[in-house]
Copies of this chain bind each other. A is one copy, B any other.
């Protein structure tokens, strides 16, 4: 059917979100019309606010209201270790796990020659400058995704930074905790055998 213009526009906006097709978007748009006025207004204000009030931390590239971000500004965090991630969502995933107490660096991308993305296109130069001006940094943990591009980026960083005497490590690949061996894919199994740890 021809939806009234305001509904059509909202459906269109919802379909721009990841994983939401035209059917879900229509359902969400209709639900929105039936929501309380203040919830919808709050939603709209929250959308505007994330674009207006959030910026990249000039040190690590995290999203933040203040500069530097709360993590970089926290003197209680371990200043000797930096986890390098591709995107802010990866930083958030590691923070949510709640164990790591060091710092971060967000590349905002990954090396991808096929897509024309080289070292100058991602946030590597700021990482190098950060290492040059902070002697206390001892280890870089590369937490790029466990795929070809993530591996390539990890290798590049390793070759770039190791000569400067910095320890560069990579997240372990292997079985997910709680998973069944017969459900693991072949490459993960091979990596898990290669990376076996002594008991």
A interface, CB within 8 angstroms of B? 1-7, 9-10, 12-14, 16-19, 24, 26-35, 37, 39-51, 53-54, 63-65, 69-70, 87-89, 92, 95-96
- For A26, what are the chain B residues with a Cβ–Cβ distance below 8 Å? 89, 92
User: With A18-B28, A70-B2 in contact, is A7–B47 under 8 Å at CB?
Assistant: no
Nearest-CB distance from A67 to chain B (Å)? 12
Nearest-CB distance from A2 to chain B (Å)? 7
B31 contacts A63, CB within 8 Å?
no
B18 contacts A31, CB within 8 Å?
yes
A31 contacts B6, CB within 8 Å?
no
- What separation, in Å, do the CA atoms of A12 and B41 have in the docked complex? 13
- For A27, what are the chain B residues with a Cβ–Cβ distance below 8 Å? 18, 89
Partner of A92, one of B3, B18, B51, B89: B3
User: With A3-B92, A16-B43, A41-B48 in contact, is A63–B9 under 8 Å at CB?
Assistant: no
Q: Which of A12, A39, A43, A46 has the most CB of B within 10 A?
A: A46
Nearest-CB distance from A100 to chain B (Å)? 10
B54 contacts A47, CB within 8 Å?
no
B64 contacts A50, CB within 8 Å?
no
Nearest-CB distance from A23 to chain B (Å)? 10
- For A30, what are the chain B residues with a Cβ–Cβ distance below 8 Å? 87-89, 92
- For A18, what are the chain B residues with a Cβ–Cβ distance below 8 Å? 27-28, 31
Question: 6 other contacts beyond A13-B47, A18-B31, A40-B47, with CB at 8 A cut-off?
Answer: A4-B54, A13-B42, A14-B43, A16-B43, A37-B51, A40-B51
